[in-house]
Amino acid sequence: MSDPFVSDDARLIADAARRLATDHIAANAGPLDRREPEARQAFLTNLKRLADHGFMAINVPAHYGGSEAGPVAFALAIEALARACSSTAVTVSVTNMVGEVIAAVGSEEQKRAHLPRLADGTYRAGAFCLTEAGAGSDPAGMTTRAVMDGNEWVLNGAKLYITSAEYAGLFVVWAVTDPEAGKGRGISCFLVPAGADGLVIGPAERKLGQHGSATNAVHFEDCRLPADALLGRLDGGFRIAAGELAGGRIGIAALALGIARAAIDAGVAYAKERRQFGQPIAAMQGPQWMIADVETELEAARLLILQAAAKKAAGEPFGRAASMAKLYASEAAQRATYVALQLHGGAGYLVDHPVERFARDARITTIYEGTSEVQRMIIARDVLAS
């Protein structure tokens, strides 16, 4: 299929992601969701396998070990992985964003020290430590503090809902460095390696969905870091956070699309098999219209995602496009998983079919990386400012 947004290289990467997802990841998704012990090891093995195939640093320059394939390839890869296992896909998405922020604003020493380790799987994953009890979509409300003591930074505070915290090898952490500055102006960004003194990982949260992706609170208790742990310029962290949230929204939009595609594909297959009144329910107008509406919405979501990724690749402003893609794709995923469940009837409510997992996994996509309500605010403000 010809697609103006997708290059031949991006298409090859998407194909490779689909093969890995089919051959190695999909079979583990159910056991991982059920928290079977062997599934966690298989999950970690798959993370290393994905790193070996270049999927942990898709948009990182090649001379630091990355694939240097660009945002469109990243979006297509995340969609393909999410169709198999959203827990794996979100881990890959966040790790890629950690690599991108280091590549964008890190010093040469930071890039050489950390990017190859993210790319080759030495770091099983990367983690973003931004959200706090009073600071989610509004990072300016954070209270975690970083104070210079001699030639070291000392971090104190707590972060919530941190993806991959249990097995991340590197954390990108935002903290207030100038509490007297105006709102959002006194925040800086730091690189914290796993195992740093004073870095404490809380127990895994028990969640509605995406059970295979660990989510933890992260505490900093007099966590001491060298002066060169500062990422980017002092007090410049708010701009970094805003930029990376926009990029991350492309990944979550693609993830939502992948879940939705898996759900509706399962629904269509079941509708062809399930017979009522002497015919498959797929032959009835009601189910046909449900399927048609979902397919139309998912194609629209796909185009919004690719447009946002293409804008980012071209160096154009892409914040509004990313918010549109994330808003539309995540909301469409809620409707798609609902339809898939409805097409299954009572069977869809049983854990015997994966559609109930798809519905649970899709729900969070309207919340993390900025809620749907926040995306609407961003879009409206951008429109009104133009």
CA of residue 277 relative to chain centroid, distance: 43
C-beta of residue 26 within 8 angstroms of C-beta of residue 86 = no
DSSP string of 120-147? HTSSS-EEEE--BTTBSS-GGG---EEE
Residue 276 token pair: 């009522």
Answer positive or negative: Cα dihedral of 133, 134, 140, 145. negative
CA of residue 142 relative to chain centroid, distance: 21
Q: Which residue has the tokens 């994966």?
A: 354
DSSP string of 93-125? HHHHHHHHHHHHH--HHHHHHHHHHHHHTSSS-
Distances (CA, A) of 47 to 43, 131, 344, 367: 6, 24, 32, 24
* Residue 369 a catalytic site member: yes
Residues 6+ apart with CB under 8 A from 219: 157, 158, 159, 199, 200, 201, 202
Long-range contacts of 61-67 (CB under 8 A, 24+ apart): 61/103, 64/103, 64/111, 64/112, 64/115, 64/116, 64/119, 65/115, 65/116, 65/118, 65/119, 65/120, 66/99, 66/103, 66/115, 66/119, 67/13, 67/119
The catalytically annotated residue of 244, 331, 356, 369 is 369
What 3-state class would DSSP assign to 61? coil
What's the CA gap between 193 and 225, in Å, rounded? 9
Residue type, 257: L
Residue 210 backbone zone (phi > 0: left; psi -120 to 50: alpha; other: beta):
left
Comparing C-alpha atoms, which of 339, 265, 250 is closest to residue 302?
A: 250
Answer positive or negative: Cα dihedral of 109, 170, 256, 364. negative
C-beta of residue 263 within 8 angstroms of C-beta of residue 359 = yes
Catalytic positions, please? 369
